[in-house]
């Protein structure tokens, strides 16, 4: 048997197929995966918090509210179909590599950091 | 304010609202762990908790008016003293049944709280305003499901319509008038069950017709009355037994 999904809604025990059969998941039988973005306060950024499965965006909002926003402050929620997210392949992650001598490009390179910390009274930093 | 009839009227109103919330919350919590999908299981359980929370705050208000402690009111009253309506007592059935009940009950609750947010009895008006957002979500959840299922498969339609057939007449049990309707209206506490009922009929029928649901003509709206007077269906007693089982196993235990 070929396992189509670990999702119990798709591979159900009572529907286990025979040895060589393949389970075909019909359209809409497996719901759509939505990425959930949570915003704590109006004006702040939405932060990715996880996923929900739902038949459409409206239902995804309904589920996301209780799954990700029932504790703590929430101002808004976005849901986006996972399939609409474009990402790089991990084998291309090397495009992010940078050479050691280019630290002048980093904000951390600048010496003013110490003065800012000093002004903030943050004595933990040297 | 020292008028005893005024206080009795407010207490009567609080008791029936609180009991509806407690029993509805308990019923809906029975879906915890066996909901149709994980996300819905969480949503339905969370809303059930909201309802029990509302009940607690109403019982607390009653306590401040001289009634017993909320825990005593909730768990140590005899069945006859409960004022919940028949709609909330019915067993959960299949999920379509519970969803349709949730739709019918929560629309009434939403409209009731909207009316109460202008109540002259300030503590109640404050609670009604505080819960507005929660109940708005409950109604949003119910509407979305009904729309989803009525625009879904043949099976989903074939499940939703019969649940309406089964529940619609019983839903009128929510609006069974109490003995203090006139006092409540005169004092500006609550405009009354009749007003609420017509608002509810308007909302429910417009959503239903938009989604192709046929609502039966209910000739005798008092068919399921009795709950507000302490006469309950055969389903309430087993529910109370289950709800108080742990408490009764060790009376007076400190948690």
Q: Does A74 touch chain B (CB under 8 A)?
A: no
Burial of A119 (0-12, 13-18, 19+ CB in 10 A): exposed
Mutate which: B37, B47, B106, B136, vs A, most A CBs within 10 A: B37
Domain for residue B254, yes or no? no
The CATH number of A31-119 is which of 3.30.70.890, 3.10.20.520, 3.40.50.1100, 3.40.50.300? 3.10.20.520
Q: Which residues of B touch A59 (CB under 8 A)?
A: 144-145, 148
* pLDDT tens digits, one per residue of B203-249: 999 999 999 999 999 999 999 999 999 999 999 999 999 999 988 88
* pLDDT tens digits, one per residue of A69-120: 988 899 999 999 999 999 988 888 888 887 767 767 766 666 777 787 788 8
Domain for residue B205, yes or no? yes
Q: Which residues of A touch B42 (CB under 8 A)?
A: 63, 66-67
Given a contact cutoff of 8 angstroms between Cβ atoms, the answer to whether B27 and B199 are in contact is: no
For residue A60 the two structure tokens come to 């995804």
Question: What is the least distance, in Å, from the CA of B121 to any CA of chain A?
Answer: 30
Nearest to B42 among A31, A54, A66 (CB): A66
Question: Which residue in A has a C-alpha nearest to residue B43's C-alpha?
Answer: A66
Give the structural domain span for B183. 4-249
Domain for residue B214, yes or no? yes
Torsion of CA B159, B163, B165, B167, to 10 degrees: 180
**Contact (CB<8Å) A63/B39:** yes
Over range B66-92, report the average pLDDT.
Answer: 96
Question: What is the least distance, in Å, from the CA of B143 to any CA of chain A?
Answer: 10
How high is the pLDDT of residue B168? 98
Domain for residue B175, yes or no? yes
At B169, which CATH number?
Answer: 1.20.1260.10
Q: Does A33 touch chain B (CB under 8 A)?
A: no
Q: Tally the domains of chain B.
A: 1
The answer to whether residue A47 scores a pLDDT higher than 90 is yes
Q: Does A58 touch chain B (CB under 8 A)?
A: yes
The answer to whether residue B63 scores a pLDDT higher than 70 is yes
Domain for residue B255, yes or no? no
Angle between helices B38-64 and A57-68 (to 10 degrees): 50
Model's pTM, two decimal places?
Answer: 0.84
**Contact (CB<8Å) B39/A52:** yes
Given a contact cutoff of 8 angstroms between Cβ atoms, the answer to whether B104 and B87 are in contact is: yes
**Contact (CB<8Å) A53/B148:** no
């Amino acid at each position: 048997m070929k396992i189509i999904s670990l999702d119990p809604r798709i591979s159900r025990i009572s529907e286990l197929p025979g040895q060589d059969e393949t389970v075909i998941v019909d359209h809409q039988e497996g719901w759509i995966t939505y990425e959930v973005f949570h915003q704590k306060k109006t004006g702040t950024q939405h932060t990715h918090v996880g996923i929900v499965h739902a038949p459409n965006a409206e239902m995804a909002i309904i589920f996301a509210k209780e799954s990700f926003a029932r504790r703590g402050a929430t101002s808004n929620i976005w849901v986006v179909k996972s399939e609409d997210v474009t990402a790089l392949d991990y084998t291309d992650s090397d495009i992010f590599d940078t050479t050691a001598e280019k630290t002048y490009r980093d904000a951390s390179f600048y010496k003013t950091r110490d003065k800012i910390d000093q002004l903030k009274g943050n004595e933990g930093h040297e | 304010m020292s008028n005893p009839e005024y206080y009795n009227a407010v207490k009567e109103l609080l008791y029936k609202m609180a009991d509806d919330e407690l029993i509805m919350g308990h019923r809906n919590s029975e879906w915890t762990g066996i909901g149709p999908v994980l996300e819905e299981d969480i949503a339905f359980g969370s809303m059930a908790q909201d309802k029990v929370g509302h009940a607690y705050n109403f019982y607390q208000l009653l306590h401040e008016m001289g009634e017993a402690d909320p825990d005593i009111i909730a768990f140590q009253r005899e069945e006859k003293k409960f004022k919940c309506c028949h709609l909330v007592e019915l067993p959960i059935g299949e999920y379509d049944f519970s969803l349709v009940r949730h739709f019918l009950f929560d629309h009434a609750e939403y409209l009731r709280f909207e009316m109460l947010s202008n109540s002259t009895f300030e503590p109640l008006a404050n609670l009604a305003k505080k819960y507005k957002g929660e109940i708005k979500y409950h109604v949003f959840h119910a509407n979305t499901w009904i729309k989803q299922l009525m625009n879904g498969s043949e099976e989903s339609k074939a499940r939703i319509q019969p649940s309406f057939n089964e529940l619609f007449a019983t839903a009128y049990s929510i609006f069974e008038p109490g003995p203090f309707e006139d006092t409540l209206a005169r004092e500006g506490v609550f405009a009354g069950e009749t007003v609420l009922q017509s608002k509810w009929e308007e909302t429910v029928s417009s959503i239903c017709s938009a989604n192709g649901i046929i609502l039966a003509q209910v000739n005798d709206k008092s068919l399921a009355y009795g709950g507000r007077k302490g006469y309950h269906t055969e389903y309430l007693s087993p529910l109370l037994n289950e709800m108080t089982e742990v408490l009764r196993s060790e009376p007076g235990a400190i948690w």
